[in-house]
Amino acid sequence: MCDLYRKSGISGFTTNPTLMRKAGITDYERFAKEALAAIPDRPISFEVFSDEFEEMERQALKIASWGRNVFVKVPVTNTRGESAKTLICRLSGRGVQLNVTALMTLNQVIEVSRAMNSCPAGYISVFAGRIADTGRDPVPVMRDALKVLEECGSLELIWASPREVLNVFQADAIGCHVITATRDILDKLHVIGKPLEEYSLETVKMFRDDAVKAGFCIDC
């Protein structure tokens, strides 16, 4: 995060318990406060992790107190599939900046946007990449979600869980406000516009180099 903070084009950061666990983080609050100290002027989203709405609310208020650039991530439902709309409405009314996450349907966008009616600033995070994983085109869902948010001046739509650089162009083409990107995708941005013949040759060289480095041979 600190490395990317020094680069242009990155307007904010988001975390979730899965990414933090993969990174080996064991002290949630310590990590969050260190990140906020290093990145004081861009939005950073930290997610609640309880499965009970009362405890989610306590965690959300605590997380929100860590800084003015904090957005609290709240899942659209708990693990029992119970809607978080009542909690979202309460937190919005208390002035908490929210990032409601894990949405995948237009009905969820409609319900959440209504619950966030009084939110001072917020994101609605639709997992377009996971929609695509099911064989469905996420673009119509994202385009319709933007129409829903046209009347919600304080809310922005996030194209979440992108799978490839093409998704950046798709999000931009429909006017999506934000797209999240993993380091793997960011590292591919340098190939945008590369001549395909050149890219083809680089690929051939990569296969050859890796075969040599691995010491592969096929006996006659």
pLDDT in tens, 153-201: 899 999 999 999 999 999 999 999 999 998 899 999 999 999 999 999 9
Which of the following is catalytic: 7, 22, 73, 194? 73
How many distinct structural domains can be found in the chain? 1
The residue type of 83 is S
Which residues 6+ apart lie within 8 Å of 73 measured at CB?
A: 14, 15, 16, 45, 46, 47, 48, 98, 99, 100, 101, 125
**Residue 73 bears catalytic tag:** yes
Residue 203 is assigned to a structural domain of this protein: no
Q: What is the CATH number of the domain that holds 136?
A: 3.20.20.70
Residue 210 is assigned to a structural domain of this protein: no
Residue 156 is assigned to a structural domain of this protein: yes
Distance CA 30, CA 51 (A): 22
This prediction's pTM: 0.93
Residue 88 burial by Cβ neighbours in a 10 Å radius (0-12, 13-18, 19+): buried
Domain ranges, residue 94: 2-193
Residue 147 is assigned to a structural domain of this protein: yes
60, 48 contact by CB (below 8 A): yes
Distance CA 170, CA 175 (A): 9
Residue 204 is assigned to a structural domain of this protein: no
Residue 200 is assigned to a structural domain of this protein: no
Structure tokens at 109: 């966008």
User: Given the structure tokens 């306590």, which residue do they identify?
Assistant: 58
15-62 pLDDT tens trace: 999 999 999 999 999 999 999 999 999 999 999 999 999 999 999 999
